[in-house]
Amino acid sequence: MYKIGMIGERDSVIGFMALGFAVHEAEDVETARTVLHTLAKDSEYAIIYIVENYAIALAEDIAKYKDLPTPAIICIPGKNGNTGYGLSQVKKAVERAVGADILFKE
Amino acid sequence: MADTYNVNPTRMELKKMKIRYANARRGHKLLKDKRDGLMKQFLETVRQNKELREKVEAALSGVYDSLAIAGAVSGPRVLEESLMLPKKQGNLDVRYRNVMSVTVPEFELEVIGKDAQDSYNYGLVFTSGELDASLAQMSSVMEDMIALAESEKTVQLLAQEIEKTRRRVNALEYIMIPKYLATIKSIKMKLDENDRGNTTRLMKVKDMMLKAQRESARSDEDEEEEGA
């Protein structure tokens, strides 16, 4: 049985408590970094959601876990609104695989 | 001309090179097929991923809005107290699937709790209706969030594998195979040149021998004439 982790500032993540996610509050980037690594090394966590502004700051740390099947580290928009970082990551993956952006060209 | 491998121009090496060239051709074809297969899977997943992400992001911003209102109405203390102890628990099951030799996870969520439909883990006396609404929204977005995690991870893993395969295909196609061909050609030319050299040498030697024979025959005749 696996857990779902959630990292973010209090106001963004508090609601997910009710869904049974393992919520870890982090008020600054450094705390978020330590929490992220603890959760990612713990094999109990299969999915870790991280709020966008931390995901941007911790992009290098997240990249370390990108090529492993688990945990899936997924960024979601926080309470401050959507920055489009999540979609830009998808775009990046397409560029990495295909060599050109064929999905989002507009 | 392309680079060649540094080998001795012998028949042995020529044979070895031909075998390696055949293997490279076969490997190239297989890897190319693998790349195409991966690409097909990837494009399907990535489209799905994009849709899911747009959906989840839109839904979440709605959730945050209604949670903010709920917090404003009932106060942050009450909000936290009421959310602290979830009544239902999501149990996540992970299985692994093999897509063209890439291991991708599959997440399955099983909700356990008294009543899966009822996500209100608090008494209704002290909380506001806004909280109920935002919780309902949240539990509806949860399934999509899990699906998003699955497809996004799959996209990342496939992208990595495609990149790797593409590099291998290109290395074979543009470096290894031309190099093998050039090496085979140069060995063949050297062997042929040796052959020609051999033939001319033989012809020359034969000429010299014939000449020597003829000369000795002539000198014999001369001696006989002198003797007579």
pLDDT along chain A (106 residues), means of 10: 85 80 86 89 88 88 86 85 82 85 66
Measure in Å the smallest separation between the Cα of A30 and chain B Cα atoms: 24
pLDDT at residue number B35: 93
Given A15, A90, A99, which is nearest B83 (Cβ)?
Answer: A15
The answer to whether residue B190 sits within a structural domain is: no
pLDDT at residue number A29: 87
What is the percent of chain A where pLDDT is above 90? Answer: 3
Residue B106's closest CA among A46, A36, A19?
Answer: A46
Please tell me if residue A1 touches chain B, with a CB cutoff of 8 Å: yes
Predicted TM-score of the model (pTM): 0.81
Question: A1 and B138 in contact by Cβ < 8 A?
Answer: no
pLDDT at residue number B125: 64
The answer to whether residue B101 sits within a structural domain is: yes
Question: A87 and B166 in contact by Cβ < 8 A?
Answer: no
Write the DSSP string, A15-77: GGGGGT-EEEE-SSHHHHHHHHHHHHHSTTEEEEEEEHHHHHHTHHHHHTTTTSSS-EEEEE-
Delineate the domains of chain A, giving CATH numbers in brackets.
3-80 (3.40.50.10580)
The answer to whether residue B208 sits within a structural domain is: no
- Cα–Cα distance, B141 to B154 (Å, whole number): 20
pLDDT at residue number B197: 96
The answer to whether residue B197 sits within a structural domain is: no
pLDDT at residue number B59: 87
Handedness of CA B80, B84, B88, B93 (dihedral sign): positive
The answer to whether residue B201 sits within a structural domain is: no
H runs (alpha helix) in chain B = 11-74, 76-84, 129-171, 177-227
Residue type, position B16, single letter = K
- Cα–Cα distance, B212 to B55 (Å, whole number): 99
Indicate the number of domains in chain B: 1
- Cα–Cα distance, A47 to B122 (Å, whole number): 27
Residue A94's closest CA among A103, A85, A106?
Answer: A103
**Domain CATH number, residue B130:** 1.10.287.3240
Please tell me if residue B94 touches chain A, with a CB cutoff of 8 Å: yes
pLDDT digits (tens, 9 = 90+) for B69-85: 887 877 777 777 777 77
Enclosing H/E stretch for A97: helix A85-98
Please tell me if residue A14 touches chain B, with a CB cutoff of 8 Å: yes
Question: B86 and A1 in contact by Cβ < 8 A?
Answer: no
The answer to whether residue B82 sits within a structural domain is: yes
Question: A74 and B91 in contact by Cβ < 8 A?
Answer: no
Residue B177's closest CA among B14, B18, B11?
Answer: B18
Question: B157 and A14 in contact by Cβ < 8 A?
Answer: no
Which domain covers residue B165, as residue numbers?
11-183
The answer to whether residue B72 sits within a structural domain is: yes
Question: A17 and B166 in contact by Cβ < 8 A?
Answer: no
Q: Is A101 helix (H, G, I), strand (E, B) or coil?
A: coil
pLDDT at residue number B87: 64
pLDDT at residue number B169: 95
The answer to whether residue B228 sits within a structural domain is: no
pLDDT-flagged residues of chain B (< 70): 1-2, 86-90, 112-127, 228
pLDDT at residue number B114: 52
